[in-house]
Amino acid sequence: MSISLKNISKSYNKVSALQNITFNVEKGELFGLIGPDGAGKTTLFRILTTLLIANKGTASVAGFDVFKDYKQIRNNVGYMPGKFSLYQDLTVEENLNFFATIFGTTIEENYDLIKDIYVQIEPFKNRRAGKLSGGMKQKLALCCALIHKPKVLFLDEPTTGVDPVSRKEFWEMLKRLQKKGITILVSTPYMDEAALCDRIALIQDGEILEIDTPKEIVKHYPKAIYNVSANNMYKLIKCLKNYEFMYSVYPFGEFVHYTDKRDLFKPNDLIEFLKQNELQNIEISETQPTIEDTFMELAK
Amino acid sequence: MKEETVIKVENLTKQFGDFTAVNAISFEVKKGEIFGFLGANGAGKTTAMKMLIGISNPTSGEAEVASFNVYKNPNSIKKNIGYMSQKFALYDDLTVKENITFFGGIYGLTRKQINEKRQLLVEELGLQEIVNNLVSSLPLGWKQKIAFSVALLHNPKIVFLDEPTGGVDPITRRQFWEMIYKTANQGTTIFVTTHYMDEAEYCDRVSIMVNGKIEALDTPKNLKEKYKAKSMNDVFLKLARG
């Protein structure tokens, strides 16, 4: 087991940030913590990286206890916080050298681990970190978190605010790191990234809603979901919300995801209802639930 | 209803030294339209937006926003638009009520108007319990919903939203978009940037910026057909790196 948590709870004054969090991450696993801002993801990261002490419960990382063996943990993990935390007034190369030196190693010694990522920022190695673009900062931060060849990598919202193309590239890098045997715990508010993890924990308001593989999680969705579309999205949402048999209504891209209270739902009834409300070009078809549907159902 | 043009941009360009951040972009946005302004990080979206809201002078080209010229009347533009971004929206160390009063005052509303607006807002958003709480104590989703309403206090013709839903939970994100629909339906133009591609699908039209230029501009449906893509995410992946 690479990461293990048992009944971890943490509160700040009266505000509870985490409640009885229990889960394990296997060696070499890519494990995702999926939840919105304020769910408690960062608190969990800070406890596992020994920067914060839990009020209750036990946790271990790479076989070391987060409380007793905090020094060993710090030597064995890489941590990329959500907020850019490198030295803005050092250059790319100076930052990397600094982190290598602190961990008693050199860039050359572990270069193979960061090579794929570092070559992309190497042309800017003499630029100060503060002057880099968002995507390049992210790559430098990942290099710095990897330079001492950690057993476990903690990435707190590495892709928040990053465009879809850079996000895709970032996940491809993570997959390559995983193949080198590094255990990765990554958090994200983007539900589409959840599908790229081996297993995920859905987290909201300091509690875990569910833990499983992305495929299994969507199987647990309790209802049939329908894609509904019409000529006016705003009016469609309003009408659906007023339909007496409505169970849930959520806009999903070009469609609205609709679920019905009844076991036997007749799409034609709904089409009639929408027509009476002066909607046109109405289309209804059954669709597959996504992780986001599941999350919203559990978080309701 | 959607005939009146409220944003008109022609060959708008911004250079920083020898770097062209925005390269001769042209487009029009109609009244009541939800216009998605997409692009990769560093494509020039923020620079373009800064010119449109009257806080950055273009190097060349023309732009009219709410029928005011960006060179001659940037201050009139500011009075006639609303703006909110993920990074700055409300003052954390003021209460919800204080923020509403402050922004109402900045936009030149009378005390009476501010009071009326505040009551309306409290009712619509269900803020009764939290109106005297510091903004810093609120969840992000709440902050963003209130910030959007505050950006609309002075009934602007256009509201500019810079990544308004980043990091917000999926349910609140949808509530936020329902507010956007409602606002657009009442005739206010929405100019919005986002990295969530499902949100791009909610827009009436979408432009995609690549290296300072607008590479594509159409309805989500037409863009998907043109680029033979299943979703806006695919369209974006095909275009955004040139």
How far apart are alpha carbons B194 and B183 in whole angstroms? 18
Q: How many helices (H) and strands (E) does chain A have?
A: 11, 14
How far apart are alpha carbons B236 and B220 in whole angstroms? 11
- CB neighbour list of residue B104: distance below 8 Å, 6 or more residues apart: B113, B114, B117, B118, B153, B154
Please tell me if residue B186 touches chain A, with a CB cutoff of 8 Å. no
User: What is the tens place of the pLDDT at every residue in B12-22?
Assistant: 999 999 999 99
Put simply, the answer to whether A157 touches B167 (Cβ < 8 Å) is yes
Nearest CA in chain B to A291: B170
Whether B1 shows a pLDDT value over 60: the answer reads: no
Residue A10 φ/ψ, nearest 5 degrees: -150, 130
pLDDT band at B35 (very low <50, low <70, confident <90, very high): very high
Nearest CA in chain B to A39: B169
Q: In Å, how far is A106's CA from the nearest CA of chain B?
A: 32
Mutual orientation of helices A134-146 and A111-121 as an angle, nearest 10°?
Answer: 170
Put simply, the answer to whether B140 touches A35 (Cβ < 8 Å) is no
pLDDT band at B242 (very low <50, low <70, confident <90, very high): low
- Strand spans (E) along chain B: 5-16, 19-30, 34-39, 60-65, 68-69, 81-85, 158-162, 189-193, 205-210, 213-218
For chain B, positions 97-126, list CB contacts with chain A under 8 A.
none
ipTM of the complex model: 0.82
* Share of residues in chain B with pLDDT > 90 (%): 83
A 10 A CB-CB count for A263 gives 7
Residue B7 φ/ψ, nearest 5 degrees: -130, 130
User: What is the tens place of the pLDDT at every residue in A70-105?
Assistant: 999 999 999 999 888 899 999 999 999 999 999 999
Put simply, the answer to whether B86 touches A168 (Cβ < 8 Å) is no
CATH code of domain A3-219: 3.40.50.300
Please tell me if residue A162 touches chain B, with a CB cutoff of 8 Å. yes
Q: In this structure, which long-range contacts are made by residues A134-137, counting pairs with CB atoms below 8 Å and at least 24 apart in sequence?
A: A134/A161, A134/A162, A134/A166, A134/B41, A134/B42, A135/A162, A135/A163, A135/A166, A135/B41, A135/B42, A137/A84, A137/A86
Enter the tokens of residue A207. 């509690």
pLDDT value of residue A36: 82
Helix or strand (DSSP H, E) at A202: strand A199-204
Please tell me if residue B240 touches chain A, with a CB cutoff of 8 Å. yes
A 10 A CB-CB count for A122 gives 11
User: What is the tens place of the pLDDT at every residue in A233-270?
Assistant: 889 999 999 999 999 999 998 899 999 999 999 999 99
How far apart are alpha carbons B23 and A110 in whole angstroms? 42
Enter the tokens of residue A197. 């993890």
User: What is the tens place of the pLDDT at every residue in A120-142?
Assistant: 899 999 999 999 877 888 899 99
Put simply, the answer to whether B41 touches A204 (Cβ < 8 Å) is no
For chain B, positions 57-76, list CB contacts with chain A under 8 A.
none
CATH code of domain A225-299: 3.30.70
How far apart are alpha carbons A45 and A17 in whole angstroms? 12
Write down the domain spans for chain B.
Answer: 5-91+134-239
- CB neighbour list of residue B10: distance below 8 Å, 6 or more residues apart: B26, B61, B62, B63
Q: Which amino acid is at A259?
A: T
CATH code of domain B5-91+134-239: 3.40.50.300
How far apart are alpha carbons A195 and B39 in whole angstroms? 24
Please give the distance of CA B206 from its chain centroid, rounded to a whole number: 13
Please tell me if residue B136 touches chain A, with a CB cutoff of 8 Å. no
Please give the distance of CA A137 from its chain centroid, rounded to a whole number: 19
Q: Which residue of A160, A164, A237 is in closest CB contact with B167?
A: A160
Residues of chain A with CATH 3.40.50.300: 3-219
Residues of chain A with CATH 3.30.70: 225-299
Please tell me if residue A254 touches chain B, with a CB cutoff of 8 Å. yes
Query: Chains A, B: CB contacts under 8 A, how many?
Result: 98
User: What is the tens place of the pLDDT at every residue in B170-208?
Assistant: 888 999 999 999 999 999 999 999 988 889 999 999 999
Strand ordering across the sheet containing A246-252: A246-252, A255-260, A225-229, A283-287
Put simply, the answer to whether A299 touches B171 (Cβ < 8 Å) is yes
Torsion of CA A187, A190, A196, A198, to 10 degrees: 40
Residue tagged 């909610």 (tokens): B202
